[in-house]
Structure 1
């Protein structure tokens, strides 16, 4: 009998992600400092173990200045707390499970308005697909488009912009504006309705950009933790790898701001594109451009969300140096993905 052909070898290579990037969910997985073997982190809920974390009325919000406000129910008291020292207020030992859970609060508050102990973890922190943009993002995108319509569009576009200024904001504002153009201004539906549908697609595309930008990790907080972590390493003589770790951290500091600067530049380019003089009656190219900006922001976010949250769980004085070294390696590998941070006008 003829020899049977040997089966083709199974490839174990990680498939490339968008733009030739590696798959972010398999790229150098991040382990949270203090996580036990086999522990899934982040958990699905903010289920603190300490009973005093479940007192009635306790919650967390973003203060107007961007800090974390601890909200108590008695006497409408609001305490503005530095999240890096908040564990002292709640008597949570550094490195404990509740400590690590508390340090996830800032990342969660970039996705929701308020966190109460027991609340579910926001989807982006669990690597779930992002939801439809919230209404305020859609309203902001629509407002930018209305301003452009009023100054650049033809007669139908200007009438539609005028109508949109007089209807309540929300997902149904385009339909309401079309009805107003027909009933109040006398435009035929065959002219106004197709224009409104195209512009609604554009508003949705820009709203997705705004929502993805708003959900970016707190890069500034991560940079602050990296800087604070570097400071005690030079004085730590009790660990044999201290010199290597110190040099690794010294290499991180000059470039750790790269994801923040890149995401800021991409958002600015997306907003500038909405102001350029292009014919909004045929916005297909602009829609594709906005989708591209959103994809760029999403790529950066997916690569950095888990790592930035892991850095927030570091306590420079007590975290195991080997775990800090692992985070430094994760960070350097992500910073080496140069195409992730290319300028918005680069192909």
Structure 2
């Protein structure tokens, strides 16, 4: 009779085995820093237009790294100038912080948390830009820190107000309840997608990001090609809702360009030449409001000609038209004198 043996590994032994296996596949943390310069050069060669910057301290140790793929830079031309900045702590031997800047299809605005570094950077690099705080996490901050949700409707009203009058009205109500709600954290969507790689050696982390971006770019190109409407799906759905309200409004012409549109929350004057409505929705969103749609129908003008081109399917495709390629494998061996050693503890 054959003897049967069963080995049981304790947690520490299993964990050390896992770390050893990971090092065999990805190398050590130090390897990641030593290969960093070579990796960036390979990415620059295979992705023309890519911008990288590797900064080291006085002892030739890694300090900062900046990376923006050429495809992202080219696509930014077709997006409205809103930048969302988010930071997350990395895991691993030397830890660190990763900052992600993402452009949205929405005037030049920078959205971040309230960290002083973001404020200083914006004032130095983009002094003309406006900076906003993430509304979604502002609400979360209220619930978690102040243990109250009875004021959420006021915060939402202020966040979505399109006129100064409405904004001030909501803010006055908030101030009267002496709630301090002026801090929040930026949405974590992109950094959440990168969560599995936060403990990787830095070169593997960058490769994980490259692969993820490559898949995102391909999917968005496919989505844009599948559209049968003029605008992207989100805008088309919003316009459909606003058109239903527009059909219930009454339009009175003032002259060849101006209209009085009655209905909804308020009556407004819409100027077709200036593309301006008193509700200020279009000024902020660059998407036609119900008053605009009602006036356009009265003037036999298709509403698709009145929106911002950034919302069109052509711009959506152009924003992701460029490919993100894998690193080039046709490089000479890296010069060890020009590599970036890891931080020392």
Per the TM superposition, whether the score is higher than 0.5 is no
TM-score by length of 2: 0.27
TM-score by length of 1: 0.27
Structure with greater Cα Rg: 2
